[in-house]
Amino acid sequence: MAIIYKNSFEGAIPARWAELAVLRLGGARITPKEDRVSFYLTDSAARERAMKALKAFAATLPKGVGFQMVGAAMQHENIPGKD
């Protein structure tokens, strides 16, 4: 899995990568470049393991941090944000 600022790499993200989720910061940005990062599956054979890891990760996020599954991942599992 890769976690990147999607806007910073527009046009350079490999076509074989699948965007699974987006994390949105809940407070003011101090040092992050953007308020969102995207989680990409870089190996399709690891989809099940990645989805399980994302679900576990989402459960640890503090209130106010948004986490949403996107694209094809929504068909597999929906993890609600903590907004």
Token pair 């987006």 is found at: 22
Residue 62 lies in a domain: yes
Residue range 63-75, pLDDT digits in tens:
888 899 886 555 4
Residue range 18-60, pLDDT digits in tens:
999 999 887 666 766 777 899 999 999 999 999 999 999 999 9
Please give the tally of structural domains in the chain. 1
Are 49 and 73 in contact by the 8 Å Cβ rule? The answer is no
Residue 7, exposed/middle/buried by CB under 10 A (0-12, 13-18, 19+)?
exposed
Residue 83 lies in a domain: no
Per the structure, the complete domain to which residue 20 belongs is given by 2-76
Q: How far apart are CA 2 and CA 83, in angstroms?
A: 24
Residue 45 lies in a domain: yes
The pTM score is 0.78
How do beta strands 18-24 and 36-41 pair? antiparallel
How many residues are given for the chain?
A: 83
Residue 81 lies in a domain: no
